[in-house]
Structure 1
Amino acid sequence: MNASDLQKLTEWLIDGARSAPSPPAMMAQTCERLVAAGLPLSRVGIFVRTLHPDIVGRNFVWKQGGEVVVGSANYEMLDSEEFRASPLAIVFAEGREIRARMDGPDGNRFPIFADLREEGTTDYIALPLLNVDGSVHASSWTTKQPGGFTDAQLKALRELIPPLSRLIEVTRLRFMSTILLDTYVGNRAGERIMHGQIRRGHTETMDAAIWLSDLRGFTALSDRLPAETVVDILNQYFDCQVSAIATHGGEVLKFMGDGLLAVFPIDEYIGDTTKVCTQALGAAREARANVEAMQFPIGEAVERFRFGVALHVGKILYGNIGGGNRLDFTCIGPAVNLAARLEKMAGRLHRTVVTSRAFADACPDGWEELGEFPIAGFSKAERVYGLADETAEAYAPQPALYSSGSVVNSSG
């Protein structure tokens, strides 16, 4: 092996692997430089835990002559027999290395070794990646070299692990910061926060279509069902909306009990008011269909649900608002207030989707005027519109039935 090349690789990792703009690129260059230095690697895997509501971690797998493949694992994977019977389970649990030559006494210790032998692997070592915060991650290294890794090659791998672990930890923390911001404040707001928009009062004005919705009959639902059941219902109900909003270019800013606030930015991203409002309406139609199809078994009955959404378009103030060092990245302004008032009117008018005149003018797609109504806090009355394909009678509350096999209606 070339000691000089290995030293340069170590220095490159310590310096932040600046020539590699992404984790896959860093891994590819690391493996290629190790091979060039005389380490006969055939397959390398890096397995890093993260903080994410859906995935427990990410994996990066390099094979000689191929691209780095990036994957993810969900939380159910931790309980799978495949994971429990793998060497990585020991590495994660105990933070120690696992070494086995395929023709040695440990060559049949784990089921995965049979697959590795079929690929021509002769030696395997899994090494823990220990982070400063005490968390344990894992790496695996294989070779097809006859006789397996030499002692010198294993020594080189073990010496490489500390600088590699430090770089992976920094990359992991940056990734987790982005994921957590996306999860709790949304992608666009998260990007602004990551780029330094963190001071109280740091706001900007933007034109946007505004979405405000809530679940009908939620108070009564919460009163008669266990709290755990209500949480399950809310999660399923929000799933019906969030995917539709994201698919049509919107961003969820806030969950407020059973309410949801989302925006569809106009200026910065598209600049076409009609197009953005059409997208917001498409999201509302999709969410309406999703909620109408939603069913939740409660004992011998099946719960059905209704919701209301108000759509408006106008200028909003978007940014950091709060007290002291506790801030919220949200939007405020008369346009948001009007949308909130319209959302309350949706229930009184027995409609799922209602809009302001400004939104209906920007997106003339089958609306019917529902009337002109005074709006609390506003000096002028507002003309309110509903979808022509949605009648008030179809949305009106129906009697609730609780007999065996019946449907419980949560509208109202």
Structure 2
Amino acid sequence: MRLPSTLAWLVDTAGAIAPPDDFLAMLGARLIADGMPLVGGSLTLAPPHPIIARRTWLWRAQNGQVIESLGFGVGLPGAADAGKPGSDWLRGIGAEAVNEHVAGTAESGRLSETPLLSWGLSRSLTAAEAELLSETARFAVAPLAALGTRLTLTDLLQSYLGQRSASQVLAGRSRRGAGETIRAVLVYGDLRGFTALSESLAPEAVIAALDGWFDRVAGAVHAFGGEVLKFIGDGVLAIFPITDQPPSVACEAALSAVAAARAGMDHLDEARSREGSPPLPFGLALHLGDVFWGNIGTADRLDFTAIGPAVNLVSRLEGLCKPLDRSVLISGAVASETKAPLVPLGEHMLRGIAEPCAVFTLPED
């Protein structure tokens, strides 16, 4: 049998394999080549995440397919599946006699207390095969710990920075000034009168109101391909980068996100009204322009964000929502790139901006 080569692979190479699905598929394929009667396998990790309690990758030997199953925290959708490492899926593969062999466990920080690695077998293992598979599990502990550490770092960065910004930091852009100028549609939102509201509410009610507002805006932004860059008090800044597609694609996506966020806020206000809580009036502004997207700050304390004249303009444009009595305002730069029906509101001078800005709104606003 060629198992020693698999052990050497675990020691020399496997620790550098970042995606857990690749690790599981490669290890499973090597064990089959070593003569192990595998029909599938599962790998479970539990890195810190705001809502995901456990992540399980399920590998099918027949076609090499790997799928991911998420277990959510208590009280969240899917929470009932949080403790299942995929055994039901393995039993459903179709082998006449599938047995699970716990190949090993590894403890590293917040890694799951359940077995991290398990296999579905087409028959019972011989004593020699069981011993060899246990050896594989022992050698897999170190690369699994490294994989878990990388996954933890990725999940934490994405939770605090967003997916795109986190990928930039993970790629090595961690020095002050590192970044790039990109063209993007910017969305800036802010709650109106929130300072006065927060002074009249208990801290718990203030946090609940902010969370509800951010859920509606950020959820809509992410649903349509954008990314939230920053929460600023009760404000939120998001971008829809323009990559290899026409600017109109990002503009339409941003407009759809804003419409979805506004509908979400309508439902939230209805729920708050039933509870006897006041509504949460807000303003949202959209603008298209160039921004510097990268690291700013001190030498040892950085923030990955977007700055530039376009960011200044979209925040000033949002400030017009209250005097114009509109919840959504759109700059002429966005309006020129979309075929959506918009209502012109004329040109307006914005504080700190030299040139007047053509301003539009949605018909139903």
Q: Is the 8 A contact 1:123 1:149 kept in 2?
A: no
Letter in 1 for 2:232: M
Taking a change above 3 Å as real, the CA distance of residues 216 and 80 of structure 1, as seen in their structure-2 partners, is closer
Whether 1:32 and 2:8 are equivalent positions in the alignment is no
Query: Could you say which residue in structure 1 is the equivalent of 2:247?
Result: 273
Give the percent of matched residue pairs that are identical in Structure 1 and Structure 2: 33
- The answer on 1:140 being equivalent to 2:118 is yes
**Given the alignment, which residue of 245, 267, 273 partners 2:221?**
245
Q: Which residue of 2 is the match for residue 405 of structure 1?
A: none
Number of the residue aligned with 2:66: 68
Query: Which secondary structure state, in structure 1, belongs to the residue aligned with residue 336 of structure 2?
Result: helix
State how far apart, in whole Å, the 1-side matches of 2:285 and 2:226 are: 14
Match in the other structure for 1:155: 131
User: Which residue number in structure 2 is paired with residue 167 of structure 1?
Assistant: 143
Instruction: Give me the whole-angstrom Cα distance separating, in 1, the residues matched to 2:290 and 2:80.
Output: 54
Q: CA deviation at 1:182?
A: 2.2
Letter of the 1:193 counterpart? V
Distance 1:162 1:315, change over 3 A: same
- Number of equivalenced pairs: 356
Alignment of 1:143-292 (within 5 A): 143-145=121-123, 148-266=124-242, 268-270=243-245, 272-292=246-266
Inter-CA distance 151–309: structure 2 relative to 1 (3 Å threshold): same
Q: Tell me which residue corresponds to 1:323.
A: 298
Amino acid at match of 1:283: A
Deviations, residues 220-275 of structure 1 (Å, cap 9, x unaligned): 33223222232222222222122322233322110112111011222x342x2333
Instruction: Kindly indicate whether the alpha-carbon contact (under 8 Å) linking 1:41 and 1:143 is maintained by their aligned counterparts in 2.
Output: yes
1:105 aligns with: none
1:76 partner amino acid? V
One-letter code aligned to 1:318: W
Structural mapping, 1:363-382, within 5 Å: 363=338, 365-382=340-357
Residues 300, 357 of structure 1: alpha-carbon distance in 2 compared, 3 angstrom cutoff: closer
> Which deviations, in whole Å up to 9, do the C-alpha atoms of 1:270-291 show, x marking residues without a partner?
2x23332232222212211121
* Letter matched to residue 325 of structure 1: D
The 1:149–1:305 alpha-carbon spacing in structure 2 relative to 1, beyond 3 Å, is: same
Q: Counterparts of 2:79 and 2:361 in 1: how far apart (Å)?
A: 50
When residues 58 and 13 of structure 1 are mapped into structure 2, their CA distance, relative to the original with a 3 A threshold, is same
- The match for 1:356 is 331
Which runs of 5 or more residues in structure 2 are unaligned?
A: none
CA distance change for structure 1 residues 229 and 121 in 2, over 3 Å: closer, same or farther? farther
Residue type of the partner of 2:228? V
Instruction: State the distance in 2 between where 1:380 and 1:39 align.
Output: 72
SS for the counterpart of 1:197 is coil
CA 1:156 to 1:305, structure 2 compared with 1: closer, same or farther past 3 Å?
same
Shift, 1:323, TM fit: 1.1
Q: TM-score, normalised by structure 1?
A: 0.75
1:49 to 42, 46, 49: 46
**Rg larger in structure:** 1
Amino acid at match of 2:105: L
C-alpha distance 207-36 of structure 1, shift in aligned 2 (>3 A): closer
Q: Using a 3 Å threshold, how does the CA distance of structure 1 residues 241 and 33 change in structure 2: closer, same or farther?
A: same
Give the conservation status (yes or no) of the 8 Å contact 1:121–1:142: no
Residues 341-384 of structure 1: CA deviation (Å, up to 9, x unaligned): 11111122210111223333333633333344432223344343
Q: Secondary structure at the match of 1:223?
A: helix
Label 1:43 to 1:226 Cα distance change in 2 as closer, same or farther (>3 A). Answer: same
**Consecutive unaligned residues in structure 1, runs of 5 or more:** 89-110, 391-412
Alpha carbons 2:181, 2:292 under 8 Å: kept: yes
Distance 1:253 1:11, change over 3 A: same
**Structure 1 Cα separation of the partners of residues 59 and 19 of structure 2:** 14
Distance in 1 separating the partners of 2:252 and 2:61: 48
Tell me the distance in 2 between the aligned counterparts of 1:279 and 1:80. 31
> Per the alignment, do residues 143 and 283 of structure 1 end up closer, same or farther by CA in structure 2, a change over 3 Å counting?
closer
Q: State how far apart, in whole Å, the 2-side matches of 1:48 and 1:235 are.
A: 28
Match of 1:8 in 2: 5
Alignment RMSD (CA, Å): 3.2
When residues 288 and 142 of structure 1 are mapped into structure 2, their CA distance, relative to the original with a 3 A threshold, is closer
Note the C-alpha offset of 1:39. 3.1
